[in-house]
Amino acid sequence: MANTIVQADAPDGMTLTLKLYAVNGDTILNGASGDALTERTNNSGTYTATVTEALTGVHEARITNASDVTICKYVTEVLVDDTGTYICVDRIDASGIAAAPSAAVIADAVLDEAMSGHTTAGSLGLFLNDQYDLAITGITAGVETRAGKHSVAGTVMMSTNAALSGGTLTAKKPSDDTTFSTYTVTTDAAANNITGVS
């Protein structure tokens, strides 16, 4: 059980007590009657209390005056049983706020996206998409799908399975002999050589 600091705002110069409850609870969780709040010396209106109980999670925080009348109601940040400082914040009526999706719902939405939707360069999604292509369509077809016209793979396809007709060189895919890409070539008829490819 650490000495956890809970901080709350209230009117200046008052004798106040912090009472922590479970959300919608009715039992004080920090001692029999709560913990005394001490106003900060150079930040009037800001009070802190030291909570010695091992409390974790979000709690309702009620600030009471010397007559034990509640003057403020807050909720705490997510408490951790440590020596950190946790702020009390205004309560919000949760009925008007859509429930945040759970981690399972978020993961399911991400994992259920079609592989074809992962197209951002450098992203984990595109990497997984590429791995999927290689596993499902085979390495040859996967490389053919991702190869650029002037990439190493494109050059290999051009040099291993291509047909020249006039000024057009047509490179074929090794997997199914369909056209991978076409290139415009310049030739030297006297030397019977290709002198340029674009």
| pTM for the structure as a whole | 0.48
**Range from 42-46, 74-78, 89-93 that averages highest in pLDDT:** 42-46
User: By the 8 A CB rule, do 37 and 51 touch?
Assistant: no
Q: Which two tokens stand for residue 175?
A: 């997997």
Helices marked H in 121-176 — which ranges? 124-137, 139-146, 152-160
For residue 76, which of 11, 34, 19 has the smallest C-alpha distance?
19
Give the pLDDT confidence score for residue 1 in this predicted structure: 65
State the Cα–Cα distance between residues 123 and 113, nearest whole angstrom: 14
* Domain assignments of the chain as residue spans, ordered by start: 4-92, 101-137, 151-198
State the Cα–Cα distance between residues 98 and 197, nearest whole angstrom: 59
CATH dotted code for 4-92 = 2.60.40
Give the pLDDT confidence score for residue 96 in this predicted structure: 47
User: By the 8 A CB rule, do 149 and 161 touch?
Assistant: no
State the Cα–Cα distance between residues 43 and 50, nearest whole angstrom: 17
Q: Which two tokens stand for residue 134?
A: 């290689």
**H or E, element range at 192:** none
Q: Which two tokens stand for residue 145?
A: 């799908």
For 54-67, write each residue's pLDDT tens digit.
999 899 999 999 99
Share of the chain above pLDDT 70, in %: 74
For 81-138, write each residue's pLDDT tens digit.
899 999 998 876 544 445 667 777 777 777 777 767 777 888 877 777 777 766 666 5
